[in-house]
Every structure is written in structure tokens, then in C-alpha cells.
Amino acid sequence: MQEDEDISWHRAQIARNRELIEELLAGNVEGSDIFPETEAEIDRLKAQTAQSELIVAAYEKEHLGD
């Protein structure tokens, strides 16, 4: 069942990263420019989220597909 635990971890990471991205964007509503550090962190979180989404999608295709 290690694989299921790994997939659960990726699902949790997706949710956590999406929340962090929203928080970073919401914290920037007062100014029109995003600090380069903040933009870099948002990009990093988006990349991690995309990677986890691919892993979960591949798992679901293999285990829940036709």
C-alpha cells in the first residue's frame, strides 16, 4: 500500500501548494508588481503542483481506468 500513501501525499501537496499560491497572490493585491522572490516562489509551487498532478493522473489512469 506504499503506492497509495505516495499518491495521497501528492494529493495533499497539490492542495497545499494551491493554497500557498492563493495566499501569495492575495498578499500582493495591494501593489501592482509582484516581488521577484514571490514570483519565483509561485513558479516553483506551480511546477511542483504540475508534477504531482501528472503523478496522480498516471496512477489514476493505471488503477482506475478502463
Cell of 25: 497572490
Is the confidence at residue 13, as pLDDT, over 70?
yes
Query: Which pLDDT does position 30 carry in this prediction?
Result: 61
- Of 12 and 33, which is predicted with more confidence? 12
Q: Is pTM, for the whole model, over 0.95? A: no
- Tell me the C-alpha distance between 52 and 44, whole Å: 12
What are 15-61's pLDDT values in tens digits? 999 999 999 988 766 666 778 888 999 999 999 999 999 999 999 99
What does the alpha-carbon distance between residue 13 and residue 8 come to, in Å, rounded to a whole number? 9
Greatest alpha-carbon pair distance for the chain in Å reads: 49
Q: All 3 cell numbers of residue 66?
A: 478502463
Question: What is the structure's pLDDT at 60?
Answer: 92
